[in-house]
A and B are shown apart, each in its own frame.
Chain A
Amino acid sequence: MLKKIIINTFFGAAAAITAVIGGLTANATTVDDVMAEARKWGYPESTIQDAYNYYLQDPDSYDSDDFDLAIEKLRSAGGNLITTGPQKTNNTTTTTAVQTTAAAPSTDKNDSTVTTTAGSEPAPEQQETDIITLTMPDGSTFTRISKKDFIKLSYKEKMDYISTFTPQQQQIIIDNLSPEEYRSLLKQLPSDQKMEVIEDLSGAVEAMGMNLTVEELTDDSLSVAMRDDDGVLIGVSNAGSLVEDTGYDRRSIFAAAGVLFFIAAAAALIVIRRSFRNNQTGDNNE
């Protein structure tokens, strides 16, 4: 269930990108470049389409500076998703989900000259098929777990896993994360970090004379609205569930009707009892 909620949860920047791509685009670079950058960072297609639609409303009003700024902000926000940190040797990265593969690079991380065969415990077949070999600037190589196994990890497990490498190796891993891996990070990002990324992106939007506001932020939904300087709503981007609420919620109406029914029934009962009592009193008097 939790997994389902996470899967259905996009994070703020995914929606905020609508404003960034929509508000910024260029010539030297192209719209396609900005969209490609967004895809690289794992932003959902619907959000990218949303932004592209906004851009198409007035494509002539954007220049190359806008494009460059958009790409810069996307990278900046993407950089907030995951950063390098000090290496932790005693980690608890190995989980049930990736019990065998998560341990693969553990012996490699301190050795900048290791090769793909330097893993200690992983099963032979996983060594051959799942492990990814990355090359350091000096030409040496090291290994990390497969994309599939990385995606399976929780956010904390991902951070713990990355921290088992040296800062330099961490940077190489981060630079080589696939869009799918970034998307999994976007989905799992804690709320406070989501807000940080949104703030980062909204800075670019504000520079363009627009304001970005988070209308709704829950575990499984996010709605970000963009307004111009006059406060006119320019667009709303929903992340998470894209399916609209197309039914009126009548539960409160039925609840109100129920309450009214009981009040009326109670009133009727009181009237009947009172009149019955009066009858008895009348009979006794007679």
Chain B
Amino acid sequence: MNKKNSYVLIHVATPFIVLAMCIGILLIISIKPSDKLKVYKNLIFMDELKLNPDDESIGLKIKDNKIIEDYKGTTSEDGEFIRPAYGEMYAVMKSSGFDLSVPVYWGSNIDLFERGACQGSGSVIIGAEGNTVISAHEDTFFSELSKLRKGDTVTLSTNYGEFTYTVRELISFKKDNNKYVSPSKDTRLTLYTCKKDILGSADERIGVICDLTEKKFYTAFKEDEEQ
């Protein structure tokens, strides 16, 4: 009888253990941002019943604006910028090289990176003279950035205008190299993300440098404001 029981134990328990093992691995791998593990850990151990934001997110006010993407009014080459506040979504990015529509936030922060692409406040606002630097996670919003090629266009719609950039150069650089993300005298758009790496912490960045080829400031918006 004992022998029979043990056979049953082997044949029933082992597949379940292996199955549980595989499910466990798949589940853990499927949780992309490791930060979320902290939340689950807190829930499991009842440490805190709410999200525990990192220090850098304390006081962060995220504002999701509705961005004008179907403007039909008149436009001009010159106009006024609407300056965003830190944590404010102020643009939507589209490209001929990929199908994604990416929200762009002013400022860079772990929470903002979860919501879209981020523009460091040390670079110039979209459409302005200088270097506009935008980055996003490689496995979410910029997962298709590597598909961009020379000549592809990147369009950034804001509530003050629409700006079209054309890819001039594909770049690759190390994390400690500030060359491409520093202010520049020429007007350009720099987009970058991590090079794909199974461990997810690659030191290498890939991206593109684009030239501003079309500026369309919304004049109707300005008139409305004046009225």
Give A contacts to B, CB under 8 Å.
Answer: 4, 8, 44-47, 49-50, 53-54, 56-57, 215-216, 220, 223, 225, 227, 231-238, 241-254, 256-257, 260-261, 264-265, 267-268, 271-272, 274-275, 278-279, 281-283
A238 to B133, CA, bound (A): 14
Interface residues of B in 174-227 (CB under 8 A from A): 175-178, 181-183, 192-194, 197-202, 205
> Would B59 and A233 count as touching, CB distance under 8 A?
yes
> Would A237 and B122 count as touching, CB distance under 8 A?
yes
> Would B135 and A244 count as touching, CB distance under 8 A?
yes
Contacts A271-B14, A275-B6, A275-B7 supplied; 12 other A-B pairs, CB < 8 Å? A46-B178, A53-B83, A53-B125, A56-B81, A225-B56, A235-B86, A244-B108, A245-B194, A246-B136, A247-B200, A249-B199, A250-B199
A260 to B122, CA, bound (A): 43
B24 in contact (CB, < 8 A) = yes
B166 in contact (CB, < 8 A) = no
Contacts of B198 in A (CB 8 A): 250
> Would A242 and B83 count as touching, CB distance under 8 A?
no
> Would A261 and B86 count as touching, CB distance under 8 A?
no
How far in angstroms is the closest Cβ of chain A from B171?
12
> Would B59 and A232 count as touching, CB distance under 8 A?
yes
> Would A50 and B121 count as touching, CB distance under 8 A?
yes
Instruction: List 25 A-B pairs, Cβ < 8 Å.
Output: A47-B122, A49-B122, A50-B121, A57-B83, A225-B59, A227-B59, A231-B59, A236-B86, A242-B182, A243-B181, A245-B175, A246-B135, A246-B193, A248-B33, A250-B201, A251-B200, A256-B28, A256-B37, A257-B29, A260-B21, A261-B25, A265-B21, A267-B17, A275-B6, A275-B7
A253 to B198, CA, bound (A): 11
A11 to B13, CA, bound (A): 59
> Would B83 and A232 count as touching, CB distance under 8 A?
no
B139 in contact (CB, < 8 A) = yes
B2 in contact (CB, < 8 A) = yes
Contacts of B29 in A (CB 8 A): 250, 253, 257
B138 in contact (CB, < 8 A) = yes
Contacts of B183 in A (CB 8 A): 45-46, 49
A256 to B189, CA, bound (A): 39
Instruction: Give the contacting residue for A268; candidates B7, B18, B60; CB below 8 A.
Output: B18
How far in angstroms is the closest Cβ of chain A from B130?
7
Instruction: Give the contacting residue for B3; candidates A8, A220, A256, A282; CB below 8 A.
Output: A282
Contacts of B156 in A (CB 8 A): none
Contacts of B176 in A (CB 8 A): 4, 8, 220, 241, 243
B68 in contact (CB, < 8 A) = no
Secondary structure call for the A interface: helix
A54 to B107, CA, bound (A): 11
Contacts of A242 in B (CB 8 A): 120, 122, 178, 181-182
> Would A253 and B6 count as touching, CB distance under 8 A?
no
B74 in contact (CB, < 8 A) = no
Instruction: Give the contacting residue for A235; candidates B14, B121, B201; CB below 8 A.
Output: B121
A252 to B113, CA, bound (A): 20
How far in angstroms is the closest Cβ of chain B from A19?
12
Contacts of B205 in A (CB 8 A): 243, 246
Chain B minimum-CB-distance residue to A213: B55
> Would A264 and B118 count as touching, CB distance under 8 A?
no
A249 to B32, CA, bound (A): 9
> Would A279 and B3 count as touching, CB distance under 8 A?
yes
Contacts of A260 in B (CB 8 A): 21, 24-25, 28
A227 to B124, CA, bound (A): 21
Interface digits, B17-42 against A, CB 8 Å rule (1 contact, 0 not)?
Answer: 11011001100110111110100000
Chain A minimum-CB-distance residue to B55: A215
B49 in contact (CB, < 8 A) = no
Contacts of A53 in B (CB 8 A): 83, 121-122, 124-125
> Would A252 and B2 count as touching, CB distance under 8 A?
no
